[in-house]
């Protein structure tokens, strides 16, 4: 089905390409339709996360747990932006390739989660982009960096 949908076609003078991702959940006779839809939606979310135009995401109980953890992390990140102490900045030196001279510092944001410990920028930055608060994270990082006098006027 995915292969058929992504085959390009023409509509009058317009070239059209459609993509699709499919999430699958299996049912028993006693399955609740709402729960089945929720599970298929979770599988679809995982199919999209694995890359567009996929269909191999069959719902598994582990998916539900991953989604719960992601939702909890999103809430923690929102709260951390408001309260600020949980956002930590780490400074990574940047050197010129030719001379090896220090030319700047890169500021990385980490989340110090009260239960999970340090959450790396590789996780929190895409999460912040996904929930629309990346500019707030950037503002906190700049505020912390400038208060440490690492930024020049």
> Where residue 96 falls among pLDDT bands split at 50, 70, 90?
very high
Most confidently modeled range among 23-27, 69-73, 98-102, 140-144: 98-102
Q: Check whether residue 135 and residue 116 sit in a common domain.
A: yes
pLDDT digits (tens, 9 = 90+) for 26-74: 877 777 888 888 888 888 777 777 766 665 566 777 777 777 888 888 8
Last residue of a domain, one of 16, 34, 59: 59
Q: Check whether residue 89 and residue 151 sit in a common domain.
A: yes
- What's the confidence (pLDDT) of residue 53? 63
Q: Check whether residue 55 and residue 73 sit in a common domain.
A: no
> Where residue 19 falls among pLDDT bands split at 50, 70, 90?
confident
What integer best gives the mean pLDDT of the chain? 81
Long-range contacts (CB closer than 8 Å, 24 or more residues apart) made by 101-108: 105/150, 107/141, 107/145, 107/150
With beta carbons less than 8 A apart as the criterion, state whether 24 and 54 touch: no
Cα distance between residue 31 and residue 2, in whole Å? 26
Q: Check whether residue 16 and residue 90 sit in a common domain.
A: no
In the chain, the number of structural domains is 2
List the domain range (segments joined by +) for residue 131.
67-153
Q: Check whether residue 19 and residue 42 sit in a common domain.
A: yes
With beta carbons less than 8 A apart as the criterion, state whether 52 and 21 touch: yes
């Amino acid at each position: 089905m995915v292969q058929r949908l992504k085959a390009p076609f023409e509509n009058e003078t317009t070239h059209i390409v459609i993509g699709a991702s499919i999430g699958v959940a299996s049912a028993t006779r006693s399955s609740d339709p709402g729960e089945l839809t929720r599970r298929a939606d979770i599988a679809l979310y995982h199919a999209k996360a694995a890359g567009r135009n996929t269909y191999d995401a069959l719902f598994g109980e582990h998916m539900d747990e991953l989604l719960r953890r992601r939702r909890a992390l999103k809430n923690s990140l929102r709260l951390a932006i408001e309260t600020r102490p949980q956002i930590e900045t780490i400074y990574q030196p940047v050197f010129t390739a030719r001379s090896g001279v220090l030319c700047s510092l890169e500021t990385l944001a980490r989340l110090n989660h009260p239960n999970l410990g340090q959450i790396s920028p590789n996780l929190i930055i895409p999460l912040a982009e996904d929930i629309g608060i990346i500019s707030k994270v950037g503002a906190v990082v700049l505020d912390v960096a400038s208060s440490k006098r690492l930024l020049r006027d």
